[in-house]
Amino acid sequence: MSKRRVVVTGIGMVTPLGIGNDETWQNLLAGRSGVGLITRFDTTAYPAKIAAEVKDFHPEKWIEKKEIKKSDTFIHYAIAAAQMCIDDSGLKPDPAEAERFGVIIGAGIGGLPLIEETHKVVLERGPSRISPFFIPGLIANLAAGHVSIRFGAKGPNSATCTACATGAHAIGDAMKVIQREDADIMIAGGAESVISPLAVGGFSAMRALSTRNDEPERASRPWDKDRDGFVMGEGSGIVLLEEREHALARDARIYCELTGYGMSSDAYHISAPCADGEGSARVMRNALRDAGLKPEDIDYINAHGTSTPAGDLAETIAVKTMFGEHAHKIAMSSTKSMTGHLLGAAGGLEAAICARAVRDGVAPPTINYETPDPECDLDYVPNAAREMNIRHAMSNSFGFGGTNACLIFSRHE
């Protein structure tokens, strides 16, 4: 029995490079950085003072003013990106199809800033001053909940929470929901907003963040010999997935087809990647098998590429292990060099980027690639976007706890 085909018909992006798909995409292709000094709180005592913040986001454009204070910022980002996604797709949600329309949107951490703010309220003013919207305002599944309510989507409603693989797992899981005939339309992706004292302090304590504070725009530098850690980002990346015949019946514009989804676990360490990249190679193999593709079919990889010394090397080794000689023929870039690392939203955003890359035939660059690392010797699309024929693109996402996700997007035929 053949699998139902799943296509991407809409994307929505709220990123440090722009509010909206076109602004983000043009800044990616121009190689602009969204990284700067943190403005959300006083970073004097913090080793890392930089992040990729979303700028000029006005939630009232998407959310009623009286509702804004009832939820954390990651939910605002998800609502905005989901609305952009629906608008981009041209879909008019039909109540008659409500039970065939679902949502899976995850967050790696959720409403940590709201927790921090409310804890301060409790200490200063007592527990009676806790908002009744505190819990629904912070829990990770409420991004999906709000979006489901907004569009009357009465099908599957779920949330993933797999650290930095969250957004990719949400999209892959949504693909499988459609393939097993539990829905025809799915909104899927991730959202995150934790540029806050506790999160920055916590990642700093792990020595995971770049401390190139004097040159924020040059701090995220995947595979460069002088990389010193990742730069935290925030935002949301959402895609609209449809069963292919459903999309064709409404004459939808199709970006590409989602053909493969792989999952794996390193079963190795709570935060460090396995040095030989075995789990990462395995998740790519699983995605290729799901797509029915051969290794030599892959033209472009949007890599996990966080700019950490160990992670970038492990991913390079994994790609070589998986693809052999073909690894050197694949264009592989890290858009985290520009957006920073959106944590639970990273996989959603990078999936949307892959969809656009396949449709437009252009690979975004890896910026700040200045001093090659002899151990990282693949084609990282250095510093300038590249027009190219992309038949099949892969998006990698790896999370703490050794959880891995891989998606494959193919040109729609």
Look at residue 46 and tell me if it is in a domain. yes
Query: Are 319 and 341 within one domain?
Result: yes
Query: Are 211 and 291 within one domain?
Result: no
Query: Are 269 and 225 within one domain?
Result: no
Task: Domain of residue 180: give its range.
Answer: 7-249
Give the Cα separation of 396 and 131 in Å (integer): 39
Task: Give me the sign of the Cα torsion angle 170, 174, 177, 179.
Answer: negative
Of the candidates 371, 278, 374, the one whose C-alpha atom is nearest the C-alpha of residue 317 is: 278
In this prediction, residue 358 carries a pLDDT of 98
Look at residue 77 and tell me if it is in a domain. yes
Look at residue 2 and tell me if it is in a domain. no
Look at residue 395 and tell me if it is in a domain. yes
Look at residue 1 and tell me if it is in a domain. no
Please give the biggest Cα pair distance in the chain.
Answer: 64
In this prediction, residue 112 carries a pLDDT of 98
Of the candidates 254, 272, 82, 268, the one whose C-alpha atom is nearest the C-alpha of residue 167 is: 82
> Which residues does the annotation mark as catalytic?
164, 304, 341
Query: Are 157 and 77 within one domain?
Result: yes
Query: Are 71 and 153 within one domain?
Result: yes
- Strand, helix or coil at 9? strand
Query: Are 268 and 121 within one domain?
Result: no
In this prediction, residue 1 carries a pLDDT of 64
CATH number at residue 353: 3.40.47.10
Query: Are 87 and 217 within one domain?
Result: yes
Look at residue 228 and tell me if it is in a domain. yes
Look at residue 120 and tell me if it is in a domain. yes
Question: Where a domain ends, among 227, 249, 271?
Answer: 249
Query: Are 46 and 96 within one domain?
Result: yes
Q: Residue 295: is it exposed, middle or buried by C-beta count within 10 angstroms (0-12/13-18/19+)?
A: middle
Cβ atoms 155, 102 nearer than 8 A: yes
Give the Cα separation of 304 and 160 in Å (integer): 18
Give the Cα separation of 266 and 288 in Å (integer): 18
Residue 397 pairs in a beta bridge with 405
Q: How many domains does the chain have?
A: 2
Question: Where a domain ends, among 186, 220, 249?
Answer: 249
Query: Are 314 and 215 within one domain?
Result: no
List, run by run, the mean pLDDT of 10-residue segments along the chain (413 residues): 92 98 98 98 98 97 95 98 98 97 98 98 97 97 98 98 98 98 98 98 97 98 98 98 98 98 96 94 98 98 98 98 98 98 98 98 98 97 98 98 98 93
For residue 69 the two structure tokens come to 């204070």
